[in-house]
Amino acid sequence: MTTLPLMQQVLGDQWEQLPPALHRHYRHSDNTDSGLLDIDYPGFMHPYLSIMQLFGALINKRGKNIPTTVSKQMKGDTQYWKRSICFPDGGTVLFKSHWKYAGGNELIEYINSFLGLRMAAHVEDGHLYYEGRHYVLKLGSVLLPIPEWLVLGHTTIEEKALDDEHFHMDFRLQHPLFGQVFRYAGKFHTSPGKEKQLDPDRGENADNG
């Protein structure tokens, strides 16, 4: 079992091109991102997103500057992510997934035990980019590819450091027929350890100063 960060396995030598804020974000040990998230999508997507959320995928509520934490834990060769998104009405949406290294510069993010998204990652000018390859249906040890356009569209993610401690992430889904069907983006800070209580007025952990 390797103790290298999962993202370091994916990026290989390009790992050294990442700035400190993104190294902190992808460290091997337990850590938590805290910040503010904007979520947007066209109205016609709401029923579809509500169905997808039953399978553990994405979020079916819009908002701006939503306090959000993302806790990450390594167990064996798998990294587990738990996103807690605290809306102004008092409701909290949880979005969980787990990541597996898929060889080369690719990984698979699973939203449940049988459905995932295979992505390729690379570094350019210190920014980290993901490109969706295809969705994955996992049947035992068999992985069946599903074209992106059949599910939600093409995935792109950009993450860039703002300074040594903060980074900005931008996740988008672009469908070939319907255009941009989903986006969330926000600024985050990474702290070591497990998830802590958010200060809802600031969108950061209460003990982050």
Domain spans, the chain: 6-195
Per the CB < 8 A criterion, the answer to whether 121 and 134 are in contact is no
Entry pTM:
0.89
Strands 127-139 and 115-124: antiparallel
Token digits for 43?
Answer: 């109205």
The label of the residue with tokens 């850590």 reads 31
Which superfamily does CATH assign the domain made up of 6-195 to?
Answer: Calycin beta-barrel core domain (2.40.128.20)
pLDDT at residue 3 in the model: 81
pLDDT at residue 209 in the model: 31
For 151, the enclosing helix (H) or strand (E) is: none
CA–CA gap between residue 164 and residue 19 (Å, rounded): 7
pLDDT at residue 195 in the model: 62
pLDDT at residue 1 in the model: 60
Residues of the chain with pLDDT under 70: 1-2, 195-209
Running DSSP on this structure, what letter comes out for residue 193?
S
